[in-house]
Structure 1
């Protein structure tokens, strides 16, 4: 698939786009069904009011792209750069999967991302504000510095994620799975010391009395 066709035609089905350089491309209003994008550069591209269904992006660079009112259904990003994207104005109920991708500095505000998968992602300093992340999966992702505020975290899985810090007073957490280190870090912010975790004091040893 050539770049001119992608920019001039309005709808595509079962197409593969590979090795295209379309930085700042205007793809607004286009429709993509079961399409594959491989090793394409879409930095700062515009996808406003576009429609993507069952599409896969592999090894693509979509840094600072815009997805205003974009319909995303069954869209998968693999080993792609998605840095600095504000997903806040994306179409309602997006269905997304992120695997091995760079999501640094992304913002997800006011969205329903139930059951969304963030697998093995570099996801530093993201913002989740008033986001429904029920049953979302952050397995093996690094979310160091990410902010969760006003989020629904029912059965959200952070169990094998790195850099997890969840404040249950600022989010709705229920059956939320977190690493032991994250629980300890939160308790320590409350001024408590967890024995065996950063406690320099050694508990006194008690000697067993010898029986006569």
Structure 2
């Protein structure tokens, strides 16, 4: 399902929020929550009332080529974009859910316009979570599949993190991060068993794979 101009739930919700006086509505999603290595990444985007981008949908439903194309269009169209990253050591220390919430809050706080000026949103729509902020917000279950702006955030976060995986693949070529993007594929699990954990692996995720308590 791609979002049709003016017909999806977000457009109706957006219109309602704008009628209540909210101008900057940030949509937030995360990527990498279930990975075995690397940062969990969150993206926050403020999309304009006009400038609808055809083809935007949950990033998991898109090919890498299409994601890259839409990523560029979103960055050109968005009023503001922010990224939050929490590394593997912190994930191990505070657990993945808390790290995800921290990344989401960081993404909201990092929203900047195309000139690099900070934008503070007036309302936040979050994919299935509630973050620690005084800004009014709403958690949307399956938001990346039902809300245009959250789907846009999912694309931004996915492309950003995939590019990190390309970098990690060069730093740790034996793990092939550029191929499996640090998810727990059969190949990745076997490489961990062969080489042990790297500096960027989430050690708390590897106990069964490495046979440790």
TM-score range normalised by the length of the shorter chain: under 0.3
Flag the structure with higher helix content: 2
Flag the structure with higher strand content: 1
**Bigger CA radius of gyration:** 1
- Structure with the larger RCO, 1 or 2 (CA within 8 Å, 6+ apart): 2
Question: TM-score of the superposition, structure 2-length normalised?
Answer: 0.22
